[in-house]
Structure 1
Amino acid sequence: MTELNTKLALVRACMRTQGLGAIRFRGVDWFAWMTCGGSSVVLLSAETGVAEVLVTDEGAWALTDNIEAERLTREELPQGLQVAAHPWTDSRPREAFVKARTGVGPVGSDRPAAGEFPLPAQITRARSSLMPEELERYRALGRDAAAAMTDALLAARPEWTGFELAGAGAQALWARGIHPALTLVGDARRLPVYRHATASREKLGERAMLVFCGRRHGLFANLTRFVYFRQPTQEERRLTADVAGVEAAAFAASRPGATLGQVYAALVRAYADSGHPGAEALHHQGGSCGYLSRDVVAQPGMEVPLASHNAVAWNPSLPGAKVEDTAVVSAKGLELLTVDPRWPTVRVEGRERPDLLVR
């Protein structure tokens, strides 16, 4: 059974259970999931794109306008998904098409309009458990995003501004067909001050942090790296080691069936054990991911469980120090996706983790 057929069977089974006549997948995240990695994105920041997917018991269609129909058919959609196009000047034919195929039956959607119902929980849970084909796409994305990060930071110079480093990062991602959803830069002065030190006109100075959230085939690769143009101080090394220890605790707690609240609690304990009690309150610690940069951000007591083959990205931080990679949890253990063999590493709790790049 193909990936599309597996997903259609799942969606239709949920429709029957919930008594729904159809489901509309409107968001760019859900479009990518349902089309097995297709993209409805034109405007990078848009939550809904230039097409949606309609699934009924009888068929499945990508609904779009006459501008996009041919391109989507040739470049974005899997075999087995038909296209229904309407004039770009008038969306009423789209709604008439949907009504003709659903009749009076209720409609579900990831972004419900008037009279529609939210997606069944079974579908939301299923998206968290990545299929083999999705994992292969994710692994390739992770490798490419990590390589883009290495390229950008090997090219960086202390006299560059944050804008220039962000631009170099975006260029390296685009060169690999990855949408630069986020290229966050912290320069030497602002790194210890702001956990989210967005790119600015300031020069990088003696060190810099670069953060990626890169999207391809709808999936997000999230990672953070640091470059130093001098030798790190003993204190900088200590803080870097401390956040790596906190991350190791999060990794150890990340397993199928564990809740995000349990992983968060492990982070809290690790901060305290390393001499930084309460540090978790100063920045979010990451969470589960996949078709969003974070599907769910972990919070205290949260009972959302991790699924088998669920992607996660934890990002513990301290002033001027942070660590982040995208990984997948399964019964076999944790698989890191955003790895480039060119990047220097240090061993933390039996696992190779990114070290500071000193140039």
Structure 2
Amino acid sequence: MDRFSMTSPALIAHPLERKLEDRAIKRARVLEILDAAARDSVLLTSHTTLSWYLDGSRIGISLAGDPIAALLVTHDGDHLVTFNNEAQRLIAEEIPAGVTVHEIPWHGSLSDVASWLGPGIFPATESELATPLRLARRSLLPGELSRYELLCRDSATILTDVLSQATPQTTERQIAAALAERVVAAGADPLVLLTSGASRAAFRHPLPTDSALGRRAMAVVCARRDGMIANVTRWVRFDDGTSAERDAEARIANVESDIFDATVPGASIAHVFSEIQAAYPRHGFGPDQWQLHHQGGPAGYAGRDPRATVAVADTIALNQPFTWNPSGPGVKIEDTVLLSSEGIRPLSVDHRWPTTKVNGIDRPITLQR
């Protein structure tokens, strides 16, 4: 085994524990949305909403593909339609109790409700109710939070394991391969794996190459399990760093701290975004930095649900997860956190990773090798 094969026991995927009370709350929320919209049903079709409503069920095959099921929510019950080559597995392994499953040919249509349930049903599309559905899933229920915390901790642990073994000669692809191995062993999907060595530090979304890491490197993991996605960035350095680097790292953590301060119940995402725009020049970055990379936003069943902009009027709620990711030239900070009743609580935590307190919250710093 080479140095990037797993040398410790693999993280074992935990069994999905669905809580009936969580499912009942989600169904009640969707029925309230239907009543408010004066509609009798809605057809759920996206990975994000299906995974949320079905409490983490895996309803995809290709990571880049559409779901292989759709779900009609009515006051009379939940009806899931899927292809004949998928139904047996879904019933046996994924679909919670209380959902009626309808099979169609593998070449059939998931959106033609009349073809599998009969005429006379005209459901709302998911896009018609996108905003209220998004707000319905913003606060995590107890079962969801328990699963999400574990995923976030696992993701942070994986980054610590891999970057603690890295050397300046390790290539970006070797880092990505080692991350992928551990993510899959943990029962998760590696949706995004980014790595940049010193020669590519200027890129904000660095897909891995055969370049060696050199004197410093960044790695990013976005891992999905039980329908939820953890987003984590970490840095490693093989020398003492320059004073300019250390200064920029501290300043970007202060930008993030200002974002955390603005992330409070009742505030709008648009308001937080305006605070982000002001935070960069306040901490010595150019006022255009927010334009050079997205800044993150609410997290959970989508990587960002949604990405924050000045146009997002959604308000913030307790027990809502976030991944903010301010960045500047050669620096970035990113963790998945929860807005709890005590304030911001980081979820993607591995206590082996070095941290420093920023405004009372432990924040990751560069791992010095």
Q: Note whether the superposition's TM-score is higher than 0.5.
A: yes
**What does 1:285-300 align with in structure 2 at a 5 Å threshold?**
285-300=295-310
Q: C-alpha displacement at 1:250, in angstroms?
A: 0.5
Could you list the per-position Cα deviations for residues 16-47 of structure 1 after superposition, in whole angstroms to 9, with x for gaps in the alignment? 3323232111111111011011111210122x
Which of 205, 213, 226 aligns to 1:204? It is 213
Q: C-alpha displacement at 1:207, in angstroms?
A: 1.1
**Residue 124 of structure 2 aligns to which amino acid in structure 1?**
G
Flag structure 1 segments of 5+ consecutive residues without an equivalent: 112-117
Contact persistence 2:259–2:276 (CA under 8 A): yes
1:35 aligns with 2:54: yes
Contact persistence 1:18–1:120 (CA under 8 A): no
Which of 123, 127, 130 aligns to 1:107? It is 123
Q: C-alpha displacement at 1:97, in angstroms?
A: 5.2
**TM-score, normalising length: structure 2:** 0.89
Aligned to 1:337: 347
Q: CA RMSD in A?
A: 1.9
Q: C-alpha displacement at 1:81, in angstroms?
A: 1.7
Mean Cα displacement is larger for which, 60-69 or 239-248?
Answer: 60-69
**Residue 211 of structure 1 aligns to which amino acid in structure 2?**
V
- Give the whole-Å Cα distance in 2 for the aligned partners of 1:138 and 1:255: 20
Aligned length: 349
Q: C-alpha displacement at 1:140, in angstroms?
A: 1.0
Q: C-alpha displacement at 1:281, in angstroms?
A: 2.2
Q: C-alpha displacement at 1:82, in angstroms?
A: 2.4
**Residue 345 of structure 1 aligns to which amino acid in structure 2?**
T
- Give the whole-Å Cα distance in 2 for the aligned partners of 1:213 and 1:290: 11
Which of 228, 235, 260 aligns to 2:269? It is 260
Contact persistence 1:185–1:198 (CA under 8 A): yes
Contact persistence 1:186–1:198 (CA under 8 A): yes
Q: C-alpha displacement at 1:314, in angstroms?
A: 0.8
Aligned to 1:82: 100
Aligned to 1:171: 181
**TM-score, normalising length: structure 1:** 0.91
- Give the whole-Å Cα distance in 2 for the aligned partners of 1:317 and 1:17: 40
Aligned to 2:31: 12
Cα distance change, pair 264–92 in 1 and its aligned pair in 2 (3 A): closer
Between the aligned residues of both structures, percent identity stands at 36
Q: C-alpha displacement at 1:146, in angstroms?
A: 0.8
Q: C-alpha displacement at 1:251, in angstroms?
A: 0.6
Aligned to 1:317: 327
- Give the whole-Å Cα distance in 2 for the aligned partners of 1:244 and 1:305: 24
Cα distance change, pair 97–60 in 1 and its aligned pair in 2 (3 A): farther
- Give the whole-Å Cα distance in 2 for the aligned partners of 1:31 and 1:93: 14
Contact persistence 1:151–1:172 (CA under 8 A): no
Aligned to 2:150: 140
- Give the whole-Å Cα distance in 2 for the aligned partners of 1:155 and 1:77: 40
Cα distance change, pair 231–31 in 1 and its aligned pair in 2 (3 A): same
Flag structure 2 segments of 5+ consecutive residues without an equivalent: 1-19
- Give the whole-Å Cα distance in 1 for the aligned partners of 2:361 and 2:241: 22
Cα distance change, pair 298–13 in 1 and its aligned pair in 2 (3 A): closer
Contact persistence 2:41–2:124 (CA under 8 A): yes
- Give the whole-Å Cα distance in 1 for the aligned partners of 2:313 and 2:69: 33
Q: Partner of 2:200: helix, strand, or coil?
A: coil
Cα distance change, pair 190–137 in 1 and its aligned pair in 2 (3 A): same
- Give the whole-Å Cα distance in 2 for the aligned partners of 1:308 and 1:165: 36
Q: Partner of 1:263: helix, strand, or coil?
A: helix
Q: C-alpha displacement at 1:13, in angstroms?
A: 2.5
Contact persistence 1:19–1:106 (CA under 8 A): no
Cα distance change, pair 147–120 in 1 and its aligned pair in 2 (3 A): closer
Mean Cα displacement is larger for which, 140-149 or 272-281?
Answer: 272-281
Aligned to 2:164: 154
Which of 79, 85, 88 aligns to 1:67? It is 85
Cα distance change, pair 244–308 in 1 and its aligned pair in 2 (3 A): same
Mean Cα displacement is larger for which, 18-27 or 341-350?
Answer: 18-27
Contact persistence 1:86–1:93 (CA under 8 A): no
Q: C-alpha displacement at 1:190, in angstroms?
A: 1.1
1:24 aligns with 2:43: yes
Q: C-alpha displacement at 1:87, in angstroms?
A: 2.5
Which of 218, 221, 242 aligns to 2:227? It is 218
Contact persistence 2:190–2:224 (CA under 8 A): yes
1:308 aligns with 2:318: yes
Q: C-alpha displacement at 1:228, in angstroms?
A: 1.0
Q: C-alpha displacement at 1:120, in angstroms?
A: 5.9
Q: C-alpha displacement at 1:335, in angstroms?
A: 1.8
